[in-house]
Structure 1
Amino acid sequence: MKIDKRNPAHWLSLAGFWLQAALGTALRPLLRSSNGTIVLYGHKLNGNLLALYRHMRANPSVGLRPVYLSMDLDYLRELRAQGVDCCWACGPACAALLARAEALVSDHGLHSLGSWRGEYQRLDMKFFDVWHGMSTMEYRPEDVSDRHRYDEIWVASELYQLVYTTRFGFDEGKVVMTGHARADRLIARTEDRDILRRQYGLPVDRRLILFAPTWKQQSRARSIYPFGCGKAEFLEGICRVALDHGASVVMRSHLNSSDAVAVEVEGLYLLPASRYADTEAILEMCDILVCDWSTIAFDWLLLNRPAIFLEVEPPYPLGAFLGDEFRYGEIVDAFPQLLQSLGRILGDPAEYWGRYGPRHQAAKDKFYGTMADGRATERCVNRLIEWIRA
């Protein structure tokens, strides 16, 4: 659940979660047992959390029971209809769950539970972080101070281990290279793209261009549509190029962006993150990425497909700390150049790879190192087992 501080209902949810977390600490001495319950907490059950959930459910022999925890009751109803084991953070079942759980894995902080984390750790619950985005954003030490108090941080590679220890001041022993669990799915490539596309209502006989802009963040005047273009002008332009080459466009707005597009454009399909949480499925279905500073580019890197980067100012208040070597595809700084680049890639993909293939490989090697081997989820689960059975 993404918290909107202007929404009174969200404040009530935070208060309800706080009360349940408090009650859980009182119950834990009575209910705590070695039962293998692992709480997964995040805005959505997607990415690394989804990979961990699926692995534990598919491998009952590991002896772990994953439960997804959220304050969003409507979303939980959707998940329960799909057979997901989940719990409402504002209801009494939450206190019982936290009282019994052996560990908690989060990908975007703890919200109200953060006030009680120290007490739960004293009562022998372990806390692990699998940060949801592999961001290029520069942080201040206070921005990541909360994660210093986790038992362990699981990161994508040696590069990010160095980022955490040298830039953010984390103890080396606390930052563990596991790889990102969600990446395993993109590496394995076992899903049928046609089946996925039919499930999402996308054409199976066309190449798909994925437009995935990041959100405004602190740049309130920033538009997710680049180069001074209006919404209609931008979307109609890229869709026109796509249709000229027998392709279509998928727009995936960030969880923090409005879902509303309110323009009818031929060849455009909308899959906002707020309603379509499974990012890896969307990446698998698409053929060309257009993005600005979205961290989705690092996941896309594993698919070995063309990428176009929009040369716009990063929305981060302190700027970006990774260099242009991680903008591994074509970089465009004007709308006509973007349209020309799209047309060129759609018309002659081999020409793109002749120019940018080595940059793709170099970026992948530097970012993932040896961790892009399809075994990240297994490593994360093994870390859980080692901690709770120690």
Structure 2
Amino acid sequence: MKIDKARPSHWLWLSMFALQALVGLGLRVLGVRSRRASVILYGHKLNGNLLALYRAMVTEQAKTPFRPVFLSMDRRYCRELKADGVEARWACSISGAWLLATSSALVSDHGLHALQPLHSAYRRLGLRFFDVWHGIPFKGFDADDFRLQHRYDEVWVASDLCRQMYVEKFGFDPSHVVVTGYPRTDRLVHPVDAQCVHRAALGLPLEGKLILFAPTWAQDAAGRNLYPFGCDGGMFLDALATAARRHGAGVILRTHLNSGDITWQGHENVHALPGSQYPDAEAILLASDMLVCDWSSIAFDFLLLDRPTFFLDVPAPFRKGFSLGPEYRFGAVVGDLQSLVDSLERALSTPDMYWDTHASRHASIREQVYGASADWNASARCLAQLRAAVD
């Protein structure tokens, strides 16, 4: 779950999680055991790389000793997952303590919240920690941002380029950074279901092109407008919806988890799927035909689908600069609303013109960012790393 420091209930849950983490540590000292080793998956939501790993472990249960369990402070979310047949534990309960006591590994994609102060103690008692971060970033970071992950057993990254970035920019020990590829990309490289299946599940139109607008959140620029070029939501979405309608197309408004539950009802061909309510980003990407974004890392996921992408040339909201810079924008870069509308309409009416201009750069950036790791085997490589570390 996403912690809101202004909510007293969240402080209560953090305190309860810390208490259960201490109980789990004590049980671990006493040497409690489980019949089958569990792997804890810990993040805001069970999505992205964590969801891909969960599914891979469930699919491979006959071949792997691991039982995946998602751990969360959000009790309601745990109940929702359990109703869908997912193994989940509430971190603020004794079942969360037992899970921490008996598990062999923990895989995170962000941080550990109340478990962080006990990280070293758990490691000394045999719990192995792995990180598979949730995105290939435009946003700039430095070593201070990863002080916790520096003490993990391994960090799994998307490619040799990412590994170089982790070592040179983020200060990681090279021996702890392993190129596995990102598990969630398996689904994008080799889609299992047809596009219409994802659209039906999301309540989207089954016919016509869909333009995905997925802006990043405010980041380090307080008060940053979600919409570009000085537009408000009405002006920007009206322009996209009108252009799309001329070609029998629609628009998906996909806001970041940190942007809140932003919806839109001004046009029947604009479909709001906020990240807080629709955490399965890969399903939304697979349902979409084009992407409009600014500095969101979602662009690098969409890159694997080989579909037209339009970058809004607006100031980046990053205090520490870039990790991957503006030169990694692999599609059309547009500097105002009219240029965006014109570019979208050309791509909708004559898609070959887009690829005549951008195919070479698109292929080059894809090769740099992913290399050979986007090959439908990233989940398998992560499971192999787990087996090697805890067997």
Instruction: Report the TM-score when normalising by structure 2.
Output: 0.98
Q: How many angstroms does 1:321 deviate by?
A: 3.2
Amino acid at match of 1:24: G
Q: Give deviations 1:69-97, integer Å, cap 9, x for gaps.
A: 01111111111110000000111100000
Residues 233-382 of structure 1 correspond to what in structure 2 (within 5 A)? 233-261=235-263, 263-382=265-384
Are 1:38 and 2:39 matched, yes or no? yes
The answer to whether the Cα contact below 8 Å between 1:179 and 1:371 also exists between their aligned partners in 2 is yes
Q: How many angstroms does 1:262 deviate by?
A: 5.0
Q: How many angstroms does 1:221 deviate by?
A: 2.0
The answer to whether the Cα contact below 8 Å between 1:35 and 1:102 also exists between their aligned partners in 2 is no
Residues 63-142 of structure 1 correspond to what in structure 2 (within 5 A)? 63-142=65-144
Q: How many angstroms does 1:33 deviate by?
A: 5.1
Partner of 1:53: 54
Q: Give deviations 1:165-210, integer Å, cap 9, x for gaps.
A: 1112211110000000000010112212112211111011111000
Partner of 1:9: 9
Partner of 1:199: 201
Partner of 2:106: helix, strand, or coil?
A: strand
**Structure 1 residue runs without a partner (length 5+):** none
- Write the distance in 1 (CA, Å) between the matches of 2:325 and 2:27: 49
After superposing on structure 2, the runs of 4+ consecutive aligned residues of structure 1 that deviate more than 6 Å are none
The answer to whether the Cα contact below 8 Å between 1:232 and 1:263 also exists between their aligned partners in 2 is no
The answer to whether the Cα contact below 8 Å between 2:212 and 2:290 also exists between their aligned partners in 1 is yes
Q: State the percentage of identical aligned residues.
A: 48
Q: How many angstroms does 1:34 deviate by?
A: 7.0
Superposition CA RMSD, Å? 1.1
Q: Give deviations 1:315-371, integer Å, cap 9, x for gaps.
A: 111121323331000000101111111111111100000000001100000000111
Of 140-149 and 256-265, more deviation after overlay is shown by 256-265
Q: Give deviations 1:3-34, integer Å, cap 9, x for gaps.
A: 11111111111111111101100001331357
Partner of 1:30: helix, strand, or coil?
A: coil
- Write the distance in 1 (CA, Å) between the matches of 2:39 and 2:262: 36
Amino acid at match of 2:376: G
The answer to whether the Cα contact below 8 Å between 2:165 and 2:323 also exists between their aligned partners in 1 is no
Q: How many angstroms does 1:227 deviate by?
A: 0.3
- Write the distance in 2 (CA, Å) between the matches of 1:141 and 1:364: 26
User: How many residues of Structure 1 are paired with residues of Structure 2 in the alignment?
Assistant: 389
- Write the distance in 2 (CA, Å) between the matches of 1:4 and 1:282: 26
Instruction: Report the TM-score when normalising by structure 1.
Output: 0.98
Partner of 2:385: 383
- Write the distance in 2 (CA, Å) between the matches of 1:248 and 1:213: 17
Partner of 2:216: 214
Partner of 2:258: helix, strand, or coil?
A: coil
